Amino acid sequence: MIRPLLIGIAGGTGSGKTSVTRAVLDALPPQSVAVLEHDSYYKDQSHISFEERLDTNYDHPFAFDTPLLIQHLERLVRGKDVDKPVYSFVHHTRLPETQLVRSRPVVILEGILILEDERIRDLLDIKVYVDTDADVRIIRRIIRDIQERGRSLESVVDQYLSVVRPMHMQFVEPTKRYADIIIPEGAQNTVAIDILVSKIRHLLDNSE
pLDDT of residue 10: 97
What is the number of structural domains in the chain?
1
- Residue 63's closest CA among 117, 122, 128, 21? 117
The yes-or-no verdict on residue 98 having pLDDT over 80 is yes
Query: Quick one: average pLDDT of 125-129?
Result: 96
d(CA 208, CA 205): 6
Query: Quick one: average pLDDT of 41-50?
Result: 93
pLDDT of residue 187: 81
Q: Please, are residues 114 and 20 in contact by the beta-carbon 8 Å criterion?
A: no
pLDDT of residue 1: 60
Q: Quick one: pLDDT band at residue 144, thresholds 50, 70, 90? A: confident
Crossing angle of helices 17-27 and 190-207, in 10° steps, is 50
The yes-or-no verdict on residue 5 having pLDDT over 90 is yes
The yes-or-no verdict on residue 25 having pLDDT over 90 is yes
When comparing pLDDT for 183 and 185, which is higher? 183
Query: Quick one: average pLDDT of 12-17?
Result: 90
Where is 73: in which H helix or E strand?
helix 66-77
**How many CA atoms, within 13 angstroms, populate the side-chain half-sphere of residue 150?**
5
Query: Quick one: average pLDDT of 34-40?
Result: 96
Which of these ranges, 113-117, 120-124, 158-162, has the smallest mean pLDDT? 158-162
Burial readout 93-118 (b: 16 or more C-beta within 10 A, e: otherwise): bbeeeeeebebbbbbbbbbbbbbbbe
- What's the CATH code of the domain at 163? 3.40.50.300
Q: Please, are residues 8 and 125 in contact by the beta-carbon 8 Å criterion?
A: no
Average pLDDT of the residues of the chain: 92
Domain that holds residue 79: 5-207
